[in-house]
Amino acid sequence: MDRWSFSTLVLDPHDMVTLPMLTDELSPTNKDVNDALSVGILGSGPTGALLALGLSRLGCRVQIHDPLSADQISSRSRAYAITHSSRRLLERLDLWTSLQPYLVPFRQLCLQDQWSKPSVWFRIADLAPANRNADAIGWILDHQPLMQELLKRLDREANVALQLGDRASSGVGQARDAGFDLIVAADGPKSSHRQAWRLPLWSFPYRQGCLTLKVSLRGAAPATAHEYFRAEGPFAVLPLGGQAFQLVWSAPLNRCRERAALDPSTLLDLLATVLPSGLEPEALLDQPVAVPLQWSLAPKLARGRKILLGEAGHRCHPVGGQGLNLCWRDVDELIALVAAHQHAGLALHQVSARYSCRRLVDLFLIGAGTDVLLRLFSNSWRGLRPVRFVILLLIQRLPLLRRIALQVMTDGPMTILKAPPEWKQRGFRHGVQQ
């Protein structure tokens, strides 16, 4: 495989941290070396770090900068739902095998509604045929081993320079970006770079917040995830292995904050009243965290050579576990376009333009879909209860509807009309074999 060369600069701390602007002290690697394409990626969280690794595997020279240290970046207590679109990307980047000891598969997903009796069970047979050999609907992956593996891999890459924990040299100021051909901001939903670049953001705050916590549960079926629609908001139960589970509890934000402040025994008693039937809480395994929720989307994900990646350019409700998978589909698309620039003669200005156009459709459909799902099922309106009953009953009884719903959740809505290249090319994409 031909190799590509370019340098990259990265920043991406925890989601709720606002990053300072890049200053003159951070300059790109000498562009004269091999006439490298120069790319600045601002952010070293899961999205920025994965992009850096992908670009490095294409032969790019990468520089990563983050004001947080490696320990701070890795210490966040949360878990991610990993879908098949993310699995394919991790396999192409040779990460899947290394992460497998930490990936907790779920082979069935139970969808329930507080007001409707039909329970919908999604199983492996409901997956698209190309995904069934993976023997899971999805996986739950903890943040800490993910980031530790990503940073370890990046540290081993000869053409990657990690600059982490450098708060002293990253005070607010205008980025010195004249030496970069592309600059990618992956610095989270409060992206200071998006604001400095004057890229607009459409934002629709929800009245709901989200309480995330890890607990030990009794009575859970093996390898099973739950999505329980309640009047105050969706309630997800995600397996972490053994009796450990990640709970994602949506409710009015003030209620989430009040619950986060409860003592463990009181919170466990409250959980016992809202968990799906048969699940009993035993112990709290971490400190609950309450965060506000919103649907946001930048109508332009790029301007000239400046690109928004991940939550710097979009965010949606966590129902369905789409967040990180959307971000990683950003990564996949950008890697593909850089490869096209290197191998197929795609003009550099077309990389950012095509990235914005191609990603916006997927992002809008997922954001709008989760918004409609939330408004339909997270309320106590009596008039909607028959509608919800009919929808769940149809999904329960019609395998085709289950397959379509699961394909949208695991591969993205764009695959309904156009299958991923790997389904037709025996696992190859961008010159990298799965």
Residue 369: what are its φ and ψ, rounded to 5°? -65, -45
CA distance 329 to 333: 6
Say if 326 falls within a structural domain. Answer: yes
State how many domains the chain has.
1
Q: Does residue 175 have a pLDDT over 70?
A: no
Q: What is the mean pLDDT of the chain?
A: 84
Q: Report the DSSP pairing between strands 428-429 and 432-433.
A: antiparallel
Q: Work out the average pLDDT over 143-148.
A: 95
Say if 207 falls within a structural domain. Answer: no
Tokens standing for residue 154: 């990046």
Residue 142: what are its φ and ψ, rounded to 5°? -75, 145
Of 190, 246, 234, nearest to 208 by C-alpha is: 234
pLDDT band at 166 (very low <50, low <70, confident <90, very high): low
For residue 265, with 0-12 CB atoms within 10 Å meaning exposed, 13-18 middle and 19 or more buried, which class applies? exposed
pLDDT band at 425 (very low <50, low <70, confident <90, very high): low
Q: What is the CATH number of the domain that holds 172?
A: 3.50.50.60
For residues 223 and 108, the answer to whether their CB atoms sit within 8 Å is yes
Q: Does residue 255 have a pLDDT over 70?
A: yes
Q: Work out the average pLDDT over 15-21.
A: 41
What per-residue confidence (pLDDT) applies to 433?
39
Token match 């010159």: residue?
A: 431
> DSSP assignment of 52-103, as one string?
HHHHHHTT--EEEEESS-HHHHH----EEEE-HHHHHHHHHTT-HHHHGGGE
> DSSP assignment of 127-172, as one string?
S-GGGGGG--SEEEEEHHHHHHHHHHHHHH-TTEEEEES-GGG--S
Of 201, 205, 170, 204, nearest to 188 by C-alpha is: 201
- Give 12's contacts (C-beta < 8 A, 6+ positions apart): 41, 42, 43, 44, 45, 46, 47, 48, 49, 66, 186, 187, 188, 310
pLDDT band at 269 (very low <50, low <70, confident <90, very high): very high
HSE-CB at 389 with a 13 A cutoff on CA atoms is: 9
Say if 358 falls within a structural domain. Answer: yes
Q: Does residue 155 have a pLDDT over 80?
A: yes
Conformational region of residue 210, where left means phi above 0, alpha means psi within -120 to 50, and beta covers everything else: beta
Say if 191 falls within a structural domain. Answer: yes
Say if 84 falls within a structural domain. Answer: no
Say if 241 falls within a structural domain. Answer: no
Tokens standing for residue 32: 């004269």
Domain that holds residue 52: 6-76+144-202+295-365
Tokens standing for residue 182: 């592309």
Tokens standing for residue 426: 């025996």
For residues 434 and 88, the answer to whether their CB atoms sit within 8 Å is yes
- What would the pLDDT profile of 288-310 be if each residue is shown by its tens digit? 999 999 999 999 999 988 999 99
Say if 190 falls within a structural domain. Answer: yes
Say if 254 falls within a structural domain. Answer: no
Q: Does residue 281 have a pLDDT over 90?
A: yes
Helix, strand or coil, per DSSP, at residue 255: helix
